[in-house]
Structures are given as structure tokens and as C-alpha cells.
Amino acid sequence: MGSLLETLQQEKIVAIFRGIGQAEADRAARALADGGIRLMEVTMNTDAALPILARWREQLDGLAFVGAGTVLDEKGAREAIAAGAQFLISPNLDEAVITYGAERGVSVWPGVMTPTEIVRAWKAGAEAVKIFPMASLGHRYLQELKAPLDHIPMMATGGVDLDNIGDYFRAGADAVGLGSKLVNLQWAREGRFELMEQRAREFTETVRGLGRQSNSFS
């Protein structure tokens, strides 16, 4: 399958589905895909995450790339890839997960916070890292990280919304991970999938607009 790094850097948004019900998962994912989201993950601590992932892989083929989030260890990586995950994301750094994914051509973007963790992940073979928790650290922290480590692609996750997304890209983010600000579980439960599609379109259009302002976010 090969690396999805180029897709991540081009699309710039990963939608995070955590705690969504099986009954809503498929329609919600399709709504986001219709709104322009091309990368989406279901977290492994979501009930029925593996069946959801397997269905998404079939239903969204050609529309979006699907992956697993909250992959904490090699066991989780093995289960996720067997279910069809095209990329793995975690809140932590586990080199075994990076190795397992790399050996199978599956992109792994581990969670890190400190410069030491970032470089460790990079040396272990991660093609990009997830800076987490960004809600607590803020975009200025990301900017400081990027100064000496600008060769390592970074995804900012946590605390990113429509109002501040530009701050994160200007600080050097290559992509962002969006949970509840994009994946509104209340709308999903109420069957208001048109609102989910509209929200997805707002985010994707905002990112495109930022791209037009500058050919590269730096």
C-alpha cells in the first residue's frame, strides 16, 4: 500500500471518531467523506472499533483512507491492520508499533510531546508524529518544536477548532487531528448527518483558504 505521508500533508486533516455507536458510524463517516475529509480514524477504545473499521474499508474505498487510533501496542496494531487499517495513530510512542506497521507497509504516526520523544519516533521509522495533547500545550509550543525539528512532519491533535486552526498551521503543523470539533456525536445520534457534512466542508474549505494564502504553512 505504501506511505500515506503525502496524502496527510496534502489533505491536512484527520477526523477522529471516538465513542461513536455502530448504528451511526457508517453514515457519519460517509457524511464527512462527502464534506471533503479524506483521512479518518476510529479509536481502538471505541466499542466495535474493529467491525467499524472493516466496514469503512469496504464502504469508503476510493473516497477516504481509514485507520485506527489509540493503538497502544503491537497487539492493537496487529488487530487493526487485520481489520483493514491503512494507517495507525496513537497517543503514545511504542517503537514496536512503528516497526510492525512499517514491515507491512502501513503508516504509523505515534503520539509524542517532547523533543526527545519526537526524535526517538523519527529514528524508529515514524514518517510523521502526532503532537499531543495540543489543547494543553498550544500552538506556540508547536512553533518552538518546529524551529529545531522542522524536518520532521508533525500533526497537532487536541484543542484545534475552526477559530484557531490557522494558528497551528502558521506555527508549522503539517496536519491536524480533529475529534469532537469535527465529529459531533450528538448530531450523529440524532441522525443530523447533513450538519456533519456541512461542518466537514467548513474545515476543508478553511484549510484550502489557508493554503491559498501561503503555498506552504510555515
The whole-angstrom separation of Cα 178 and Cα 78 is 24
Q: Among 4, 201, 11, which Cα is nearest to 102's?
A: 4
Residues annotated catalytic, as ranges: 41, 130
What is the DSSP pairing of strand 13-17 with strand 175-178? parallel
Q: Among 90, 82, 85, which Cα is nearest to 64's?
A: 85
Is the distance from CB of 106 to CB of 80 less than 8 angstroms? Answer: no
Name the grid cell of 218. Answer: 510555515
**216 contact partners, CB below 8 Å, separation of at least 6:** none
The whole-angstrom separation of Cα 56 and Cα 84 is 9
Is the bond preceding 51 in cis, omega lying within 30 degrees of 0? no
The whole-angstrom separation of Cα 64 and Cα 161 is 21
Distance of CA 98 to the CA centre of its chain: 16
Is the distance from CB of 176 to CB of 164 less than 8 angstroms? Answer: no
Radius of gyration of the chain (CA): 16
